[in-house]
Amino acid sequence: MNNEENITGIILAGGKSSRMGSDKGLLVYNNKTFVEHIIEAMQPLVSEIIIVSNTKDYDQFAHKRVEDIIPDSGPIAGIHTGLTHSNTPSNFVVSCDVPLINRLLLEKLSLQDKEIYDVVQFEDNGKTIPLIALYKKRCAKKCIELLDANEKRLRKLVSALEVKTISILEKERVLVANINTVDDFKVIKNAVNH
Ligand SMILES: Nc1nc2c(ncn2[C@@H]2O[C@H](COP(=O)(O)OP(=O)(O)OP(=O)(O)O)[C@@H](O)[C@H]2O)c(=O)[nH]1
């Protein structure tokens, strides 16, 4: 637990998983669902965990589950819902498809000067990772502005905010692996078996 300030952990699990063909957050890797791996990484750092999903399957994890306020509108809508339900100024926002994430990596996001930035995110080789990031609750306002304008691109959200981007280290690259397809999943399963 962060002693200076409480943080909320928001897990986005309301996507369609169309590339995977089954709900990504509920895939089992190393005997735990993807969502359980993320909960485990977040839990020591946060005062509350909120799962944003419209399906009751996520009630099994015994954390607060909330449904999208604006349905079928992509990750910005998920962030908007999570931040709206949060009771803390700072919030980890993590997608449900990064099962290798760990506490130390998330902690790095929270060690920045949080007063200055709306968003603290990672980047890997020039590619930003806005769904492993720390967002201020106040960003909910910008989310709703974009959704009202029918803008669903995450990069539009982040570029409209005060953002700090941290480059991940070579050894951390594996931790941010984004599992979108059956082939992506095979890669991490095979890595464990070797
Ligand atoms: N709550 C919520 N989360 C979403 C929504 N759309 C996407 N997400 C989440 O955002 C993260 C990134 O989603 P994507 O991988 O881009 O999209 P996806 O719909 O899950 O998967 P594809 O259909 O394969 O593109 C995942 O954790 C999704 O669960 C949404 O409308 N609401």
Spell out a b/e string for 48-60, using b for 16 or more CB atoms within 10 Å of the CB, else e: bbbbbbeeeebee
Check pocket membership of 78 for ligand 1, CB cut-off 6 A.
yes
For 53, residues 6+ apart whose C-beta sits below 8 A from its C-beta are 13, 14, 25, 65, 67
| Sequence spans of domains, the chain | 7-193
pLDDT in tens, 46-75: 999 999 999 999 999 999 999 999 999 999
**pLDDT by residue, tens only, the chain of 194 residues:** 444 579 999 999 999 999 999 999 999 999 999 999 999 999 999 999 999 999 999 999 999 999 999 999 999 999 999 999 999 999 999 999 999 999 999 999 999 876 789 999 999 999 999 999 999 999 999 999 999 999 999 999 999 999 999 999 999 999 999 999 999 999 999 886 55
Q: Which residue shows structure tokens 């750092």?
A: 45
Which pTM does this prediction carry? 0.96
Tell me how far apart the alpha carbons of residues 30 and 136 are, in angstroms, rounded to a whole number. 32
pLDDT in tens, 116-128: 899 999 999 999 9
Pick the closest to residue 179 from 60, 22, 52 (CA basis). 22
- Nearest-atom number in ligand 1 for the CA of 53 is 1
As for the ipTM of the complex, it is: 0.98
Check pocket membership of 16 for ligand 1, CB cut-off 6 A.
yes
- Which residue among 17, 22, 98 has the greatest number of ligand 1 atoms within 8 angstroms of its CB, and so is best to mutate? 17
- Residue pair 11/38 in contact by the 8 Å Cβ criterion: yes
Check pocket membership of 109 for ligand 1, CB cut-off 6 A.
no
What fold characterizes domain 7-193? Spore Coat Polysaccharide Biosynthesis Protein SpsA; Chain A (3.90.550)
